[in-house]
Amino acid sequence: MRVIFGIDVASMVLGGLAAGMVLFIVSVGLSVTMGLMGFVNLAHGGFAMLGGYVIVLAMRNWGIGFLPALALGFVVIAGVSIAFERLLYSRLYRASELDQVLFTIGLVFMMISTVTLTIGPENQQLMLPSWLQGQLDLGILHYRTYSVFLIAVGTAIVIGLWLGFERTRMGAQIRAAVDNRRMAESLGINIDRLFMFTFAFGSGMAAIGGGLGAEFLGLNPQYPLIYLVYFLIVVSVGGLGRVTGVFFASILIGIFDFALKKYLPQGGTLFIFAMTILLLLWRPQGLFGGKAT
Amino acid sequence: MVRTLVLAGAFASAASLAQAQQEVRVGVILPYTGVGAELAQQIDRGMEQYLKLNPVKGYKVTFFKRDVKDPGGGNARNVIQELLTQDKVDVLAGWVYSPNAIASAPVVNAGKKLAVIMNAGTAHITQMSNYYVRTSFSMWHAGYAMGETAAKNLKAKTAVVGYADFPPGKDMLASFKRAFEASGGKVIDEIPMGGPAAVPDYTPFFQRAKDKKPDVFFVFVPAGDHSSAVVRTYGALGMRQAGIKLIGPGDVTQDNKLQAMGKAAIGLITMHHYHADLTNAENQRFIASWKKDYGAESTPDFMAVGGYDGMAAIAHAIEATKGKLDAEQALKSLRGWKFASPRGPILIDPDTRDIVMNEYLSEVVMKNERLYQNTIATVENVKDACKALKIPPCK
Amino acid sequence: MSAPAYDLGRHPAALALVNRHRLRVWEPLPWILALAFYFAFPNHLGFGTDLLVTILFALSLDLALGYAGIVTLGHAAFFGAGAYTVGMLAHHGIWNEPISGLLMGASVAALIGFASGLILLRTTGLTLLMLTLCTMALLEEAANMGEKYTGGFDGLPNLPIPPLFGLFEFNPLYPRVQYLYVLGVLFLCFIFVRTLVYSPFGRSLTGIRENVLRMHAVGAPVNWRLVTCYTISAAIAGIAGGLWAQANAYVNLSTLSLDRAATVLIILVLGGYGRLYGAFIGAVVYMALSHFLAQVYPTAWQLGLGLMLVLIALFARNGVIGLWDMLRNRLMAKGATMRATKSGPS
Do the chains contact at C303 and A281, CB–CB below 8 Å? no
Q: What is the pLDDT of residue B1?
A: 36
Residue A282 DSSP SS3: helix
- CATH number of B180's domain: 3.40.50.2300
Q: Is residue B242 located within the same domain as residue B378?
A: yes
Is 80 exceeded by the pLDDT of residue A282? yes
Residue C299 amino acid letter: T
Q: Is residue B373 located within the same domain as residue B238?
A: yes
Residue A95 DSSP SS3: coil
Q: Is residue B119 located within the same domain as residue B240?
A: no
**Residues spanned by the domain of B179:** 140-272+357-388
CA distance B316 to chain A (A): 31
Residue B395 maps to a domain: no
- Please confirm whether the linkage preceding B393 is cis (ω < 30° from 0): yes
Residue C120 maps to a domain: yes
Residue B335 maps to a domain: yes
Is 70 exceeded by the pLDDT of residue C341? no
Q: Which of B33, B201, B233, B258 best tests the A interface by mutation, with the highest count of A CBs <10 A?
A: B201
Q: Is residue B130 located within the same domain as residue B261?
A: no
Q: What percent of chain B has pLDDT over 70?
A: 94
**Residues spanned by the domain of C66:** 25-257
Do the chains contact at B122 and C173, CB–CB below 8 Å? no
Q: Per residue in C171-189, pLDDT tens? A: 888 888 999 999 999 999 9
Give the residue-averaged pLDDT of C55-67.
94
Residue C321 maps to a domain: no
Question: Quick one: how far is CA C283 from the chain centroid?
Answer: 9
Closest CA to C75 of C227, C229, C254, C265: C265
Q: Is residue B302 located within the same domain as residue B233?
A: no
Give the residue-averaged pLDDT of B15-19.
47
CB atoms within 10 A of CB B388: 15
Residue B394 maps to a domain: no
DSSP state of C161: P
Residue B248 maps to a domain: yes
Q: Which chain C residue has its CA at the smallest distance from A276's CA?
A: C134
Chain C within 8 Å of A113 (Cβ-Cβ)?
Answer: yes
Please give the Cα distance from B6 to B1 (Å, whole number): 9
Q: Is residue B127 located within the same domain as residue B165?
A: no
Q: What is the pTM of this model?
A: 0.88
Residue C319 maps to a domain: no
Give the residue-averaged pLDDT of B147-174.
90
Q: Which chain B residue has its CA at the smallest distance from C41's CA?
A: B86
**B neighbours by CB contacts (3+ pairs under 8 Å):** A, C
Instruction: Cite the DSSP H helix spans in chain B.
Output: 2-17, 37-53, 74-85, 98-111, 139-152, 167-182, 203-212, 225-236, 255-258, 281-294, 302-320, 327-334, 385-388
Q: Which chain C residues are within 8 Å of A88, Cβ to Cβ?
A: 310, 314
Question: Quick one: how far is CA C141 from the chain centroid?
Answer: 24
CA distance C181 to chain A (A): 32
Residue C72 maps to a domain: yes
Please give the Cα distance from C66 to B209 (Å, whole number): 50
A25-29, A260-264, A272-276, C63-67: the lowest-pLDDT one: A260-264
* Residues 239 through 278 of chain A touching chain C, CB cutoff 8 Å: 240, 268-270, 273-274, 276-277
Q: What is the pLDDT of residue A292?
A: 41
Q: Is residue B195 located within the same domain as residue B76?
A: no
Q: What is the pLDDT of residue C335?
A: 64
Q: What is the pLDDT of residue C3?
A: 46
Residue B324 DSSP SS3: coil
Q: What is the pLDDT of residue C235?
A: 97
Angle between the N-to-C axes of helices C222-248 and C98-120, in degrees from 0 to 180, rounded to the nearest 10? 140
A34-38, A47-51, A110-114, B322-326: the lowest-pLDDT one: A34-38
A84-88, A92-96, B184-188, B282-286: the lowest-pLDDT one: A92-96
Q: Is residue B119 located within the same domain as residue B191?
A: no
Q: Is residue B109 located within the same domain as residue B77?
A: yes
Residue C178 DSSP SS3: helix
Q: Which chain B residue has its CA at the smallest distance from A115's CA?
A: B33
Is 50 exceeded by the pLDDT of residue B2? no
Please name the helix (run of DSSP H) or strand (run of DSSP E) that holds residue C31, with its range, or none: helix C29-40
Q: Is residue B217 located within the same domain as residue B90?
A: no
Query: Structural domain tally of chain C?
Result: 1
Q: Which chain B residues are within 8 Å of C46, Cβ to Cβ?
A: 77-78, 81-82
Do the chains contact at B204 and A120, CB–CB below 8 Å? no
Average pLDDT, chain A: 86
**Confidence bin at A138 (pLDDT 50/70/90):** confident
CB atoms within 10 A of CB C56: 28
Residue C196 maps to a domain: yes
Q: What is the pLDDT of residue C245?
A: 94
Contacts 24+ apart (CB under 8 A), A267-274: A268/B165, A268/B192, A268/B194, A268/B195, A268/C141, A268/C144, A268/C145, A269/B194, A269/B195, A269/C137, A269/C141, A270/C138, A270/C141, A270/C142, A270/C145, A272/A233, A273/C134, A273/C135, A273/C137, A273/C138, A273/C141, A274/C134, A274/C138
Give the residue-averaged pLDDT of B263-270.
87
**Ramachandran angles phi, psi of B105, nearest 5°:** -55, -45
Q: What is the pLDDT of residue A4?
A: 59
Query: Structural domain tally of chain B?
Result: 2
Do the chains contact at B204 and A12, CB–CB below 8 Å? yes
Residue B393 maps to a domain: no
Q: Is residue B57 located within the same domain as residue B72?
A: yes
Q: What are the distances in angstroms from CA B25 to CA B96, B100, B319?
A: 20, 21, 14
Residue B159 maps to a domain: yes
**Confidence bin at B189 (pLDDT 50/70/90):** very high
Give A245's contacts (C-beta < 8 A, 6+ positions apart). A31, A238, A239, A286, A287, A288, A289
Closest CA to C132 of A41, A236, A253, B198: A236
Q: Per residue in B93-111, pLDDT tens? A: 999 988 899 989 999 999 9
Cβ contact C79:B72 at 8 Å: no
Q: Is residue B50 located within the same domain as residue B173?
A: no
Residue B323 DSSP SS3: coil
